[in-house]
């Protein structure tokens, strides 16, 4: 631990417009927390920025004081990368402005905004940004890793819709990154995570989706899980990009449309979003409804903002989480068998096996066009292990690791934002070799001393 002299903190405060929080402050306890309750860390100082100059001051201060830096966007990262013991958290959580340019259908978003902030503002004009599915996730971390959600099959990943970004680099400079200005930096931040600097604002293209989407959940009986998943693995791949159908194997939450006796029982939940006329969406979803018996369903034209926050309660802050993931080449018979083998031994009621379907617009972008490399695999297999009691850590983590290992033969790469702390070699799995080599070169250029290292780290080679 490198001690920060009190006089230096006082000096820093003089030019800082946000709030500087230290261990003796009342709001320290709250300010140090992140989404994943596994990470109970005690930073020396939290620099809660309100503007770009605060971010620059914080980077310069941390560098000059030889302090470890954690950058906090939404604080949602399951690997707990937004906090640290001792060092400095550069906290963007008060930088959440969202300004829509209705004429050009773009939106400028501050680096600490949450997805819900963006949805609420863009939806005033029937617009949306292609991003994730839980409204309290941060735009910052999500976008820098790639970003996908319900409308990505049609509109691409968040990085595919990024027009430009303002980046504070390790030497405290403010750079524009877009196709014309610092295009190499622009390439790197579209998948390379927070390795290259702190993004104080993003500009995205918006999609014109209207204010309501035909969406819903169909809850299938677990006794037919094998048949259903086998059908699903083929059927969803035949659907147009406007339709996204995902799958969640878990114990049923207390959804109001399910009979109470089903709550807590194993089920296969099939959520979907259709971007188009309801009648057409109903036709496409009918084979899923007909394939096997359901416990219940809920569907209709739903306000986008409501749909986007509909799952928030299932993943609220504070629980203990250990997530493992990979992209899946083929959801074949053997892979399904492994999924069901581990589904039979879920270590807690809140764990879920979450299988988004990705292919569509993202897979039509070349693998090295951005730093988000693994665009071909059709499915993602996310093992969301979630529990409450510390005494269950070992049991839950072992289950996740064993499950993950058993499905490795079907995997091709991993999405960097779903990595836990899995070591340097595993970070490389998020990239192809040529993308990784280019990222290392750019790290050498933009952050040669690895100031930004609390992330899925790309180490400089010099
Ligand atoms: C419940 C839940 C649901 C999720 N759903 C989705 C989903 O639907 N789609 C999807 O793609 N991903 C999803 N994710 C993964 C998500 O993309 C990552 O957790 C991401 O890291 C969250 O970003 P954040 O800003 O909230 O995280 P933080 O923990 O604040 O940051 C994560 C990393 O990004 C860096 N960072 C954050 N903001 C900035 C910034 N402005 N500039 C530079 N570096 C920054 C941090 O330093 C850290 O290394 C989900 C995660 C959770 C926990």
Q: pLDDT tens for residues 38-80? A: 999 999 999 999 999 999 999 999 999 999 999 999 999 999 9
Average pLDDT for residues 11-39, to the nearest whole number?
97
Structural contact between residues 172 and 197, judged by C-beta atoms closer than 8 angstroms: no
Name the closest-CA residue to atom 3, ligand 1: 134
Closest ligand 1 atom to residue 418 Cα is: 15
Bridge partners (DSSP) of residue 101 are 106
230: which residues sit within 8 A by CB, 6+ positions away?
333, 336
- Are residues 63 and 451 in contact, defined by beta-carbon separation less than 8 angstroms? yes
Report the nearest-CA residue for atom 44 of ligand 1: 194
| Summary mean pLDDT of the chain | 97
List residues near ligand 1 (CB under 6 A): 35, 71-78, 81-82, 92, 111, 132-134, 137-138, 140-142, 144-149, 193-194, 198-199, 315, 417, 454-455
Q: Is the pLDDT of residue 2 over 90?
A: no
Question: Averaged over 360-384, what is the pLDDT?
Answer: 98
What pLDDT sits at residue 1? Answer: 57
Report pLDDT digits (tens) over 209-256.
Answer: 999 999 999 999 999 999 999 999 999 999 999 999 999 999 999 999
Domain ranges of the chain: 7-91, 98-209+436-446, 212-418
Q: What contacts 358, CB < 8 A, 6 or more positions away?
A: 148, 152, 153, 327, 375, 377, 378, 379, 380
Specify the ligand 1 atom closest to the Cα of 70: 47
Query: 181 burial class (0-12, 13-18, 19+ CB within 10 angstroms)?
Result: exposed
Helix (H) or strand (E) holding 128: strand 127-128
At 387, give phi and psi (nearest 5°): -155, 180
Pocket test for ligand 1, best of 56, 75, 78, 142 (most atoms within 8 A of CB): 142
What's the rounded mean pLDDT across residues 292-311? 97
Atom number in ligand 1 closest to CA 74: 26
Expressed in angstroms and rounded, the spacing between residue 7 Cα and the centre of ligand 1 is: 34
Listing DSSP states for 248-304 in one string gives: EEEEPP--TTS-GGGTTSEEEEEEEEE-S-HHHHHHHHHHHHHHS-EEEEEEEEEEH
CATH 3.30.43.10 fits 7-91, yes or no: yes
User: Region 6-30: what's the mean pLDDT?
Assistant: 96
CATH class name, domain 98-209+436-446 = alpha beta
CATH of domain 212-418: 3.40.462.20
Which tens digits make up the pLDDT trace of 251-270?
Answer: 999 999 999 999 999 999 99
Euclidean distance between the first and final Cα of the chain, in Å?
25
Write the DSSP string, 355-420: E-B--SGGGGS-TTTSS------SEEEEEEEEES-GGGHHHHHHHHHHHHHHTGGGB----GGG--
Average pLDDT score over residue span 271-292: 98
The Cα 426–Cα 420 span in angstroms is 9
Bridge partner list, 100:
107
Nearest CA to ligand 1 atom 9: 132
Instruction: Give pLDDT, residue 462.
Output: 87
Query: For residue 97, what are its two tokens?
Result: 């402005």
DSSP letter (8 states) at residue 218: E
- Atom nearest to 92 CA in ligand 1: 41
């Amino acid at each position: 631990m490198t001690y920060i002299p009190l006089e230096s903190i006082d000096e820093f405060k003089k030019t800082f417009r946000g709030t500087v929080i230290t261990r003796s402050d009342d709001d320290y306890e709250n300010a140090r927390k992140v989404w994943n309750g596994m990470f109970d860390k005690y930073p020396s100082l939290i620099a809660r920025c309100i503007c770009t100059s605060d971010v620059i001051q914080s980077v310069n201060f941390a560098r000059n004081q030889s302090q470890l830096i954690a950058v906090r966007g939404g604080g949602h990262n399951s690997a707990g990368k937004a906090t640290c013991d001792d060092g400095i958290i550069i906290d963007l959580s008060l930088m959440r402005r969202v300004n829509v340019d209705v004429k050009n259908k773009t939106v400028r978003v501050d680096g600490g905004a949450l997805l819900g902030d963006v949805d609420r503002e863009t939806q005033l004009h029937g617009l949306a940004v292609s991003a994730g599915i839980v409204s309290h996730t941060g735009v910052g971390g999500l976008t820098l890793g790639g970003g996908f959600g319900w409308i990505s099959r049609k509109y691409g990943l968040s990085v595919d819709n990024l027009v430009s970004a303002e980046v504070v680099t390790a030497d405290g400079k403010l750079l524009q990154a877009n196709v014309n200005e610092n295009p190499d930096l622009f390439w790197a931040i579209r998948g390379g995570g927070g390795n290259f600097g702190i993004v104080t604002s993003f500009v995205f293209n918006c999609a014109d989706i209207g204010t309501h989407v035909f969406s819903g959940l169909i809850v299938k009986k677990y006794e037919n899980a094998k048949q259903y998943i086998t059908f699903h693995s083929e059927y969803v791949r035949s659907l147009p990009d406007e339709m996204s159908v995902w799958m969640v194997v878990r114990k049923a939450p207390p959804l109001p449309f399910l009979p109470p006796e089903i709550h807590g029982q194993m089920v296969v939940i099939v959520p979907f979003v259709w971007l188009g006329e309801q009648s057409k969406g109903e036709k496409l979803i009918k084979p899923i409804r007909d394939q096997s018996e359901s416990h219940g369903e809920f569907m209709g034209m739903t306000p986008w903002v409501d749909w986007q926050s509909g799952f928030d309660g299932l993943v609220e802050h504070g629980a203990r989480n250990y997530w493992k993931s990979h992209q899946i080449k083929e959801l074949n018979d053997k892979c399904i068998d492994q999924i069901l083998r581990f589904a039979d031994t879920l270590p807690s009621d809140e764990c879920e096996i979450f299988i988004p379907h990705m292919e569509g617009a993202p897979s039509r972008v070349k693998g090295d066009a951005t730093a988000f490399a693994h665009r071909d695999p059709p499915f993602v297999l996310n093992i969301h292990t979630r529990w409450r009691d510390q005494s269950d850590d070992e049991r839950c983590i072992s289950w996740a690791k064993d499950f993950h290992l058993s499905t490795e033969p079907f995997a091709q790469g991993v999405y960097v934002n779903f990595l836990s702390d899995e070591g340097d070699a595993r970070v490389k799995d998020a990239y192809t070799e040529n993308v990784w080599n280019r990222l290392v070169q750019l790290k050498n250029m933009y952050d040669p001393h690895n100031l930004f290292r609390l992330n899925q780290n790309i180490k400089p080679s010099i």
